[in-house]
A and B are shown apart, each in its own frame.
Chain A
């Protein structure tokens, strides 16, 4: 909300600078984003009467005016609407007009011009240059300083109000807070009261048939209405508060809304059918054309203002076009009502309208201010000569809202705030905020809360009010005492930290991608059949960000592709985070959010040096990383088996098992997928279910004694067919070498001459160990057994 200080000053004295004021209000929870100067540059603009007008001797479109202000001025003007007798703004030499331009004595093709006559916008007032000169009312004396008269030097506070501060959605409300801060007096507007009934009651019947949605409806009638532009001061006020002047009737209702916080609406009384107003729910199938010209379908949930025959306004949201005030309007029905916040909010959302009025109702307006507000409108309309109020008012208020009474315990205040607020100070704060405080013993107070504080419901709200005005800065800093607690990480966080540290240690960089993605992205990897149906956001920012991820690979691949396009060609990335898996769709219960780990390698993992020329990462680089990670996490029992995922290279992929359970997949990305993502090279990717990878890991290691007897080490090379997996040979060695085999390592794989085509040599180091010294015969026998078994089962030959 915008609060012009010149306006605010009407209700409370201000001695602070705008910056001080902003800081003070902010420190009390009325957040001021900034205090903007308005019209501060304007200077030396006076009212001037045009006493003579002559054509310019040298220019067709210019005229030479004689203008009377403090003296006579000769001014050249091109304004088309200039005429003798008019009172207009005159910028005398040395004046500064809106935008900061200084006016000087100027020669216009041989005529000396002593200043400028101005249009409204040149004074920073509402209006455009096309409107021509601003014609001032004759009540102003020539020579009057207009900057002062119209209070053109101003500052505007831009408030960023929290939703609970509806009481600050008005000038009077902000003034009240400021008065409470400065302990200053308030000077609210003096408004003549109209008595209930009178002629007004004979002209209009009002009925609330939905009292659950409308607490109060107050109305007055204004006759002899002359719709036209508002006076300059009024336009200036609205403009500086950020509202566009429209006509005097609308402007006055807006003015009073800004002043008192009560939204108002004016109907053309003569266009209402049946001289009656019914506040009711809309009927099914009913519709209304609102002031913005849009026809809107209504539902039975929506509250409308209706006359005898039809809805004439959407309550608290927007008026209807059929009863709109126009230049032809002669009689007004003024509505000043109190609608229930949630209902206005729901209706406003349903029809897609958010107005200044609905914003105030949504946050709950003061039900006690309706009569005052409507009287204020009549007062102002009369003051500016826009109409004459009819005697009396109609006020339907089925269940008057009583001020809330709340018990306040000082012990509670002090305990919650951690301070000792004296009862006198607490009383003073609450009094300043408009509460009536009465003692209830030494330690308690009965507090009656003013109706404009619709946000204060219980003791805790009063404690906040006390804290706010006591000053948060006066609250000391302590640390919680009590039982000590150990603190710590849950197992999953602990494991994920270790995994990330390990992977970073192995040279990978951690990435963080959005957990939602384009539903087409997984299809680009897995095809339309292979993707897991995702949980979908009902109101996404865009279709490209609408599906919750079910796997991590799609974003890993697109991250590789993004970097590839950026010419970052050597990449080693990992991501550890949740995926979202629904048991059924649409969701009826909360889904699983298991942590997955993805790894993506492209180009070289090892960096090139002056004597190192590393090869691009391949399947085995990736597998080595996964194996190292498992060691670091204390996870044993991983195995890798060939698999047949369509999105991976058919000959270079594996499913990863942990003790027989499938926990992941890895491999070289299929060239078709590489092409689809406009990637290059041979990307290696893996995805593992991190929760399952670590489920059995992290056990405390148990020390085994370091062997006391030396190991016997033998190398053994077997020539086998290339289609026999190395894993099979390894298993065979483990099974047949006997109990003294402690360890077996593959140290070489060789294909090529002299090994026959279709065969390869697998060379192993076998380490034997026992609790004694092993002799050669035993080892020879073991090797022999292995070779025999390999020959008979796998057709292997010993390579010599």
Chain B
């Protein structure tokens, strides 16, 4: 009996090991463990075994069944893995074929820069405000210390709508509007991005273009604060090794006034075609808010001071993306738009 069991076990292991299909395994299970199986037959014939030996033989029989079960399970696992592998192998695709195209949209370069500038200043605690594009002459000029018949009016050739109403030639009128709305609260830290209009039209000037105005008013604001803020902005915008340079200039609504250059974004200050070999790019006008402008905004220039600057978004976009003709920004050619 004992030998028989061992023989069954041995033979079963061999047959299981060579089984190649699930069908074969199924048949083996039936023939070994099924109702008419060899092992079952043995267990059935236990009655014929010497009662003293019965427990031992019974244990052996159970061990043999467990052994066969585990062999079968193992083999089934192995065959399943083979089947899975075969299935996967059959499913192999050419991963070098292009992906199924998904629609990808594009943000206009001007607005990418516009938002980038906003985000830099929001990070510095500035609020973004808006102002009208069709503006009164008073807000656009007079309130900004630029009276009629003043030569400074020549700096900006403006579009007129009707008596006293213009297309704003700068975002600076927002300075006055903001101060009037907030006086006497302090501090004022705002930027005002938007469209502005001047009667210019060539490869670097568009009759409509975009500016960001910045205004800070508080007690004790200095030109050093202006420089620091500009430097922080320039480094965020153009990279951490960017330098700035201020040159004395003139705007009716700031004093002292400055033209601000950044180290050339192309050659990093060594001199190239972009910066006309100077190493510097003129990007914005800035200055300390003129006392008359603070007064027009409703603040006492003896009590508070401020700085302001105006930055051309188009210019920054052109510098940053290497666009050489401003008109491309407004042509909206798909082949241009799809690059951003």
A interface residue numbers (CB < 8 A to B): 26-29, 31, 162-165, 341-342, 345-346, 362-363, 415-419, 458, 460-461, 463-464, 467-468, 472-473, 475-480, 482-490, 492-493, 497, 500, 503-516, 535-541, 545, 548, 559, 562-563, 566, 568, 571-573, 578, 580, 586-587, 590-591, 593, 605-612
Contact = CB atoms under 8 A, between A and B. Distances in A.
Given A510-B108, A513-B332, A515-B195, A489 B118 contact: yes
Interface stretch (B26-34, B50-58, B79-87, B94-102): B94-102
A165 B251 CA distance: 12
Grouping DSSP codes into helix (H, G, I), strand (E, B) and loop, the B interface class, with mixed when no group exceeds half, is mixed
Interface residues of B, number: 90
Contacts of B129: 490
Contact of B335 (A345, A473, A568): A568
Contact of A487 (B124, B222, B290): B124
Contacts of B97: 610
B250 A538 contact: no
A5 to B, nearest CB: 20
A225 to B, nearest CB: 35
Nearest to B97: A610
Interface in B202-248: 207-208, 216, 218-225, 227-229, 231-232, 245-248
A504 B232 CA distance: 30
Given A487-B189, A515-B208, A571-B334, A163 B123 contact: no
A566 B98 contact: no
Interface centre among B103, B104, B330 (most CB of A within 10 A): B103
B107 A475 contact: no
A344 to B, nearest CB: 9
Contacts of A504: 105-107
B36 interface: no
Contacts, number: 261
Nearest to A589: B165
15 contacts: A26-B247, A29-B247, A29-B250, A342-B150, A464-B248, A476-B228, A480-B189, A485-B187, A493-B118, A578-B133, A586-B162, A587-B162, A590-B132, A607-B101, A612-B101
B333 A568 contact: yes
Given A473-B246, A477-B228, A516-B208, A535 B255 contact: no
B291 A458 contact: yes
A516 B118 CA distance: 25
Contact of A467 (B107, B128, B229, B248): B248
A416 B305 contact: yes
B161 A497 contact: no
B309 to A, nearest CB: 13
A472 B105 contact: no
A487 B127 contact: yes
A612 B189 contact: no
A587 B257 CA distance: 35
Contacts of A512: 108, 110-111, 329-330, 332
A476 B226 CA distance: 10
Interface in B316-333: 329-333
B101 A593 contact: no
A137 to B, nearest CB: 42
A353 B128 CA distance: 43
B105 A508 contact: yes
Contacts of A516: 207-208
B46 interface: no
Contact of B100 (A164, A346, A461, A612): A612
B122 A473 contact: no
Nearest to A542: B201
Contact of A468 (B189, B220, B256, B335): B256
Given A477-B227, A487-B189, A31 B208 contact: no
A363 B151 contact: yes
A345 B153 CA distance: 11
A535 B227 contact: no
A20 to B, nearest CB: 14
A586 B130 CA distance: 24
A545 to B, nearest CB: 7
Given A27-B247, A493-B128, A507-B105, A475 B199 contact: no
A415 B305 CA distance: 9
Interface centre among A458, A464, A535 (most CB of B within 10 A): A464
Contacts of A31: 247, 249, 259
A468 B231 contact: no
B248 A472 contact: yes
B223 A162 contact: no
Given A31-B249, A545-B207, 19 more contacts: A29-B248, A165-B250, A467-B223, A476-B227, A479-B229, A483-B187, A488-B122, A488-B127, A500-B107, A510-B105, A511-B108, A535-B161, A537-B167, A568-B333, A568-B335, A572-B105, A580-B134, A590-B165, A593-B132
Contact of B332 (A461, A467, A559, A609): A559
Which 10 A/B pairs are nearest by Cβ-Cβ distance?
Answer: A507-B103, A418-B224, A418-B222, A29-B248, A504-B105, A162-B250, A607-B101, A342-B149, A568-B334, A163-B151
Contacts of A503: 105
B334 A515 contact: no
B253 to A, nearest CB: 12
